[in-house]
A and B are shown apart, each in its own frame.
Chain A
């Protein structure tokens, strides 16, 4: 249990493939539906990320904004999210789940209370988009103390000096932002350049699991499969939007998409 994120990467490595990580927004479009989606796609996933919706998301593109909006419209609250995590973990105990959100939601709830709730619900990791290094030092420590992996982010703009400091203070997983953008935009850089940035991080500390996110789609995923892990978020949220628009079942459509993504990396 304790090292379920590390284990997930180990399993993927043993199978000689990149780890597939999904991002969906918890409560999109309803609480139950979002759990059904996650349950259904989890067989093809190594790690699941669940977004905590916030109504001022300054780093998200249109697709994730839409998902968050739907979830909030349907009344999702933090306590619901913890309950849904618990329900997910009841059947998928070994599948790591990472919550991702903005610091305001944690700050408002209270850091300590938030982490305690994460722990009892079975949350394995946290990504806080706008709590960057070094401001996140105390919070990261608090996570570690409670066996929760605090995932640091590294961007294309991060300097070498800063990168080394971030890696040094990071836990078992690091999130590399592929390109200068919000979530869900097209890759602005060549695959070669992204892999080069990835290798720089890996070289500093080969033992860290580095995942690449932002702009990963059906089209780009296979080109980046040499990474430890790949995160697909906006493409999935877009599929939910499309399904709802066409009055189709998002659960089957998203499951098909994730299966396709998986097929591209094995």
Chain B
């Protein structure tokens, strides 16, 4: 079993080749990309210690993204389920409507520092694309977003947003026409344009440096949560932190500050989509998009197709950092079906005022399953990491309505 190192940030627990636990991650990329990613690594290591840069980042987080996102108890749901206390870290309240806002903003800031004028990113649900388009506009960068044609049609509101913000949305029609092919196409674009383009990978995936930047950016969520917990409870209570997993960027941000806690004290639970669930279905390790990770493949090693109603979860791979958390036993992973996510959305929106997108609806489903089995003293916190409006059409198709 892999052992986690205490007091070392999760993203820094890799060896000199970029491997976590000598097994996950690495830099499986074309020679052409080696120098640009090495330059980016050096720049990032400098910037994360640079006071001026950190101040600028905090300034953007506070004034551009709207500062701390709320943390509150869901009284009605708690009462209805009659078990653990259910709390919501409502990351969807951020300007940008999802955790991807942190990651997109940081990437645009890094791009600016690198002196590059072009930024390219991939997107599935469109949350990263939209936030990257917004950040690029704010910082005067030219932005290209790669998106599968299937996702362009099912996440149309976000596509409109990207185009309105001045980004070029590049439709990807190869393979599954979803996120996995969008990421491949975006990486190909980078291989061809790495001399003037910064690559912003949309989740905590890809070569070592890309997942580091991503998880570093989203860790803002757990920094806030830690303070909010202490404010509410006077200490860190016995907790279960439930988060949906696609690539896994929001979970890494939600969990980051709690990695060193004992798992009996703070339990980390990741919820995948049922037919895109490499972590919870014992998938093998495979190399995808530059890194070794748990990934769905066929027997021959070809990357498998996935199926999820949620575009953000429709991805065969998972962050190498989740591989590390799984193999070290620090986090546990489960999954929820489309149906279960829809049922969760139905219940949550009936009882509470939040409107989760399809992605966090999967996390809510696990919360609903768990809460009745637990005691009143147990605290469940769910990361409500995306706003539901982008899925309005799908919810109406599936449920017949979208709540006000």
Write the residues of chain A forming the contact surface with B, with a CB cutoff of 8 angstroms.
54-61, 65, 69, 72, 77-78, 102-105, 107-109, 129-135, 153-159, 162, 177, 180-182, 185
Contacts and interface: CB of A to CB of B under 8 A. Distances in A.
Given A55-B302, A104-B286, A104-B288, A130 B28 contact: yes
B34 interface: yes
B262 interface: no
B377 interface: no
B290 A58 contact: yes
Nearest to A132: B31
A177 B188 contact: no
A131 B28 contact: yes
Contact of B27 (A58, A65, A135): A135
Interface stretch (B79-87, B191-199, B249-257, B382-390): B191-199
B34 A162 contact: yes
B26 to A, nearest CB: 7
A58 B31 contact: no
A108 B301 contact: yes
Nearest to A135: B17
**Which of B17, B287, B292 has most A Cβ within 10 Å?**
B287
A47 to B, nearest CB: 20
B30 interface: yes
A201 B188 CA distance: 25
Given A135-B27, A153-B30, 14 more contacts: A56-B175, A56-B180, A59-B30, A69-B174, A77-B300, A105-B300, A105-B301, A129-B30, A130-B30, A132-B31, A156-B32, A159-B35, A180-B192, A182-B192
B31 A155 contact: yes
B36 interface: yes
Given A54-B302, A58-B29, A108-B300, A130 B287 contact: yes
For the residues of B in contact with A, the DSSP-based class is mixed
B303 interface: yes
B30 A56 contact: no
Contact of B303 (A56, A103, A129, A153): A56
B289 interface: yes
A105 B300 CA distance: 7
B297 interface: yes
B29 A132 contact: yes
Contacts of B35: 155, 157-159, 162
Contacts of A102: 287
B28 A135 contact: yes
Contacts of B98: none
A110 to B, nearest CB: 10
A154 B191 contact: no
Contacts of B281: none
Contacts of B228: none
Q: 4 closest pairs, A vs B, by CB?
A: A108-B301, A155-B32, A157-B35, A104-B287
A58 B301 contact: no
Contacts of B34: 132-133, 155, 157-158, 162
A55 B289 CA distance: 11
Contacts of B174: 65, 69
A159 B290 CA distance: 21
A57 B184 contact: yes
B281 to A, nearest CB: 17
Contacts of B28: 103-104, 130-131, 135
Most A C-beta atoms less than 10 A away, residue of B32, B180, B184 = B32
Nearest to B303: A56
Contacts of A158: 31, 34-35
Contact of A56 (B29, B33, B191, B288): B288
The CB with the most chain A CB atoms within 10 A, among B33, B289, B290, is that of B33
Contacts of B36: 157
B108 interface: no
B279 interface: no
B187 interface: yes
Nearest to B27: A135
Nearest to A156: B32
A185 B188 CA distance: 11
A56 B188 CA distance: 11
Given A132-B29, A159-B35, A58 B192 contact: no
Contact of A155 (B30, B289, B292): B30
A109 B301 contact: yes
Interface in B16-54: 17, 26-36
A103 B31 contact: no
A54 B301 CA distance: 8
27 contacts: A54-B302, A55-B302, A56-B288, A58-B30, A59-B188, A59-B191, A102-B287, A104-B286, A104-B288, A104-B301, A104-B303, A109-B301, A130-B28, A130-B30, A133-B31, A133-B34, A135-B17, A135-B27, A155-B34, A157-B33, A157-B34, A157-B35, A158-B34, A159-B35, A180-B194, A181-B32, A182-B191
